[in-house]
């Protein structure tokens, strides 16, 4: 279980900082000759499950034997989203989360294909074309954040979005650090960054409320308008609702800045590593391009023709999962593979085992 209180947290985090988080798991699976082992992480007694059987067991028992659990880092960075003590606040948070699937389901996303295409064209023409060499990861982060701001809150000012990028960088560092809120620490910088972004989002929310009431914007314009319009029937706890919505938007923005940009970068890396794959993707894209008139933007039918390109994207995510695992909490005592796991213990799954590359469960919590 490691040291008292700290457990093996420092070693767990240090392998991630050094760029090989799988080492923490692999060292212990070799030591114990098992894909399952117990430890202490982030101040919590934890069971680590790996392999296809372990992942399948966890995913098939969601909200039955285990439930999603978030470390203190997330609770402190997004306090309103995880606050459960007040029933009204808990219900409000649940209501806000229910709104999201209605807006980001495939049918709703179809109408944004042309917007994505237009922003991509501008991004590539200004920052990629006529350059002998480019740093892909920073550019992709810039693009995904700009696209997210456009789709979520209808902000298109690239200078404005670029200025906020440093705040999201601090958030990323704070999420994988010890939750010590002391000036100068990564976690303290992350908290201050969250506050700065949240403050700006609340100002945008308040202005959007005015625009909606005056009929200046459509309720379906973006995810912010959708959330505000859906919750407009409840006039109670207005400031609290604003904070909840701001936190949900902040989480979506951070997700686009981190996991989506990492996935896009990995796709480009694998295309560079496998020229014959790149040639087939290029051929598919060019065939779609030739079917369009000059100036026409992509539509949903064009996206459906990108079958090989989509398979390549899925294979990139399979080869290098962006999220190596997730944390859950045991709702009740249960037994798995002969091991007893007590109620309240945290259960961490990992999907970086080579065994999972044969029959892997690809659906993970991003």
Task: Tell me if 9-71+321-357 shares its fold with 79-108+120-262.
Answer: no
Q: What is the pLDDT of residue 49?
A: 85
Q: What is the pLDDT of residue 223?
A: 84
Q: What is the pLDDT of residue 363?
A: 31
Q: Are the beta carbons of 340 and 349 closer than 8 angstroms? A: no
Backbone phi, psi, residue 67, to 5°: -140, 160
Residue 39: CB atoms within 10 Å: 21
Q: What is the pLDDT of residue 95?
A: 60
Write down the domain spans for the chain: 9-71+321-357, 79-108+120-262
Residue-by-residue pLDDT tens, the chain, 366 positions: 888 888 898 888 888 777 777 788 888 888 888 888 899 887 889 998 877 888 888 888 888 898 888 777 777 787 766 554 443 444 555 565 666 666 667 777 788 899 899 999 999 999 999 999 999 998 999 899 999 889 888 888 888 888 888 888 888 778 777 777 888 888 889 899 989 999 989 999 999 988 888 888 888 788 888 888 877 655 554 567 788 888 888 888 887 777 888 899 999 999 999 999 999 999 999 999 999 998 899 999 999 999 999 999 999 988 887 776 778 899 999 998 888 999 999 988 876 533 333 333 333 322
Q: Are the beta carbons of 246 and 198 closer than 8 angstroms? A: yes
Q: What is the pLDDT of residue 135?
A: 92
- The CATH architecture one would assign to domain 79-108+120-262 is Orthogonal Bundle (1.10)
Q: What is the pLDDT of residue 351?
A: 63
User: CB pairs under 8 A, 24+ apart, for 107-110?
Assistant: 110/300
Q: Torsion angle, CA of 92/94/100/106, rounded to 10 degrees?
A: -150
Q: What is the pLDDT of residue 301?
A: 92
CATH number of 9-71+321-357: 3.30.43.20
Q: What is the pLDDT of residue 214?
A: 85
Residue 359 CB-density burial (10 A; 0-12 exposed, 13-18 middle, 19+ buried): exposed
Residue 148: CB atoms within 10 Å: 22
End-to-end CA distance of the chain: 28
């Amino acid at each position: 279980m490691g040291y008292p209180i700290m457990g093996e947290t420092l070693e767990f985090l240090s392998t991630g900082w050094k760029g090989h988080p799988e080492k923490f798991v692999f060292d212990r699976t070799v030591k114990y000759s098992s894909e399952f082992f117990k430890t202490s992480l982030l101040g919590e007694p934890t069971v680590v499950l790996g392999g296809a059987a372990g992942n399948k067991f966890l995913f098939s028992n969601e909200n039955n034997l285990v439930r999603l659990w978030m470390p203190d880092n997330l609770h402190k960075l997004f306090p309103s989203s995880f606050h459960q003590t007040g029933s009204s606040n808990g219900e409000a948070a649940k209501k806000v989360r229910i709104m999201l699937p209605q807006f980001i389901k495939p049918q709703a996303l179809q109408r944004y294909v042309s917007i994505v295409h237009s922003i991509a064209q501008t991004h590539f023409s200004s920052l990629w074309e006529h350059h002998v060499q480019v740093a892909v990861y920073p550019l992709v982060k810039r693009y995904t954040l700009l696209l997210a701001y456009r789709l979520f809150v209808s902000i298109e000012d690239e200078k404005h979005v670029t200025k906020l990028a440093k705040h999201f960088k601090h958030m990323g560092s704070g999420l994988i650090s010890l939750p010590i809120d002391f000036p100068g620490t990564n976690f303290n910088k992350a908290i201050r960054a969250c506050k700065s972004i949240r403050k700006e989002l609340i100002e945008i929310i308040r202005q959007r409320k005015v625009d909606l009431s005056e009929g200046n914007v459509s309720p379906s314009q973006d995810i912010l308008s959708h959330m505000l319009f859906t919750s407009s029937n409840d006039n109670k706890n207005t400031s609290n609702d604003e904070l909840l919505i701001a936190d949900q938007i902040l989480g979506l923005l951070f997700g686009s800045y981190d996991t989506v940009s990492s996935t896009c970068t990995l796709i480009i890396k694998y295309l560079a590593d496998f020229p014959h794959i790149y040639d087939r993707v290029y051929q598919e894209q060019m065939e779609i391009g030739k079917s369009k008139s000059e100036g026409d933007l992509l539509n949903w039918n064009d996206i459906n023709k990108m079958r090989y390109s989509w398979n390549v994207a899925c294979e990139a995510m399979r080869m290098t999962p962006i999220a190596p695992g997730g944390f859950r909490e045991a709702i009740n005592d249960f037994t798995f593979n002969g091991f007893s796991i007590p109620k309240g213990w945290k259960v961490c799954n990992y999907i970086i085992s080579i065994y999972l590359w044969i029959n892997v469960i690809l659906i993970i919590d991003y």
